[in-house]
């Protein structure tokens, strides 16, 4: 038994090293497939970050009258936080609103001059409210129709922001669905390409397989070296893909973070390092061995 296994592994290694061009082509396709699957895995976290960032831009603001004190506004904040539809409530004081306006428009002299001409602080204290879904903002807006708030609230900008809010949530849902569909298509394509590449490699050894069958070799002995070839190709491809993938994440991370603040893909890579390592190596081994096993079945039929 051990002698047979030794011969199978030796024959598999010899076949792998002998057909250098085919081995390189097989590994290249496997590397691309593993890289693609790993990218799709990492894009799951990236898409969640982008969707969250997009949905953060959807909110409504409730502005309070000039004479309303901070304690009263914070009391309203506590009440609105208890509503199930509310995701987050942020209190924005008059001073904070003024500082944010100056930071945002400091390079626009016309607006800044208008602000100084007004004198004082023209902004009102407000609550910035986020809901879980676009449809829930109407519930929050209706909450402030209560007579208890009529002497406190100056205005609510829900109806001005409603079209933008609905667009943001529609885009996030579309982005999520498109990501899932694209991932499935790419994975299926990658697997088919890998299978056909391995199949071509086995086709190159079809005459050798026929001779082995004529001399009475068992199916297991014929199949074994090809499975070993798949194992070797899978391990090598997984390790190379891991090295390339880690370098790409490290190289692109600062460039992506420049455009999307807070999105550091290299940190995501490190966070999921062991999952990605196992994913890449076992994906390579599984694809290569499974493709070899399926492709060689044709030649093992009696």
| Residue 184 · residue 77 · CB < 8 Å | no
pTM: 0.60
pLDDT at 266 > cutoff 80: yes
What is the pLDDT confidence band of residue 24, given thresholds at 50, 70 and 90? confident
Mark residue 62 as left, alpha or beta (left: phi above 0; alpha: psi -120 to 50; beta: remaining).
Answer: beta
**pLDDT tens per residue across span 180-217:** 787 677 777 767 776 776 676 666 666 666 666 666 66
Write down the H helix ranges in 57-157. Answer: 70-81, 94-105, 109-118, 137-143
Q: Name all domains of the chain by residue range, CATH numbers in brackets.
A: 2-54+171-300 (no CATH), 66-151 (3.30.70.3040)
- Counting residues of the chain whose pLDDT is more than 70, the rounded percentage is 71
Task: Report the pLDDT value the prediction gives residue 103, as an integer from 0 to 100.
Answer: 80
Q: Who wins on pLDDT, 266 or 11?
A: 266
| Residue 13 · residue 228 · CB < 8 Å | yes
**pLDDT tens per residue across span 101-125:** 778 767 777 766 776 766 667 778 8
Q: Who wins on pLDDT, 108 or 156?
A: 156
The DSSP bridge partners found for residue 128 are 61, 90
The interaxial angle of helices 20-56 and 158-203, nearest 10 deg, is 170
DSSP readout, 88-107? EEEEE-HHHHHHHHHHHHTT
CA–CA separation, 141 and 159 (whole Å): 9
**pLDDT tens per residue across span 44-75:** 777 777 767 666 666 778 888 888 788 888 88
Task: Report the pLDDT value the prediction gives residue 57, as an integer from 0 to 100.
Answer: 67
Give the containing element (helix H, strand E) for 61: strand 60-64
Task: Report the pLDDT value the prediction gives residue 302, as an integer from 0 to 100.
Answer: 46
Mark 120-152 as b/e (b = at least 16 C-beta within 10 Å): eeebbbbbebbbeebebbeebbebbeeeebeeb
299 CB contacts (<8 Å, ≥6 apart)?
A: 202, 206, 209, 210, 213, 222
């Amino acid at each position: 038994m051990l002698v047979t296994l030794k011969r199978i592994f030796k024959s598999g290694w010899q076949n792998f090293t002998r057909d250098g061009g085919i081995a390189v082509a097989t590994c290249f396709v496997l590397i691309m497939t593993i890289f693609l699957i790993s990218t799709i895995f990492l894009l799951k976290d990236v898409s969640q970050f982008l969707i969250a960032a997009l949905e953060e831009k959807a909110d409504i603001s409730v502005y309070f009258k000039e004479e309303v004190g901070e304690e009263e506004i914070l009391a309203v904040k506590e009440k609105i936080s208890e509503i199930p539809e509310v995701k987050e409530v942020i209190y924005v004081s008059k001073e904070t609103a003024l500082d944010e306006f100056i930071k945002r428009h400091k390079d626009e002299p016309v607006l800044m001059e208008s602000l100084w001409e007004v004198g004082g602080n023209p902004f009102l204290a407000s609550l910035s409210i986020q809901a879980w879904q676009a449809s829930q903002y109407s519930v929050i807006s209706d909450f402030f129709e209560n007579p208890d708030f009529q002497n406190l609230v100056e205005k609510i900008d829900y109806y001005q922001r409603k079209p933008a809010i609905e667009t943001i949530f529609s885009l996030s849902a579309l982005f999520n669905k498109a990501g899932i569909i694209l991932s499935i298509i790419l994975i299926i394509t990658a697997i088919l390409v890998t299978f056909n590449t391995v199949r071509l490699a086995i086709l190159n050894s079809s005459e050798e397989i026929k001779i082995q069958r004529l001399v009475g070799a068992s199916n297991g002995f014929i199949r074994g070296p090809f499975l070993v070839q798949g194992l070797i190709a899978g391990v090598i491809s997984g390790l190379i893909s891991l090295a390339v993938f880690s370098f790409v994440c490290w190289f692109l991370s600062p460039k992506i973070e420049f455009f999307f603040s807070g999105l550091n893909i290299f940190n995501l890579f490190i966070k999921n390092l062991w999952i990605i390592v196992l994913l890449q190596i076992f994906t390579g081994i599984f694809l290569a061995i499974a493709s070899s096993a399926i492709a060689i079945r044709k030649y093992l039929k009696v």
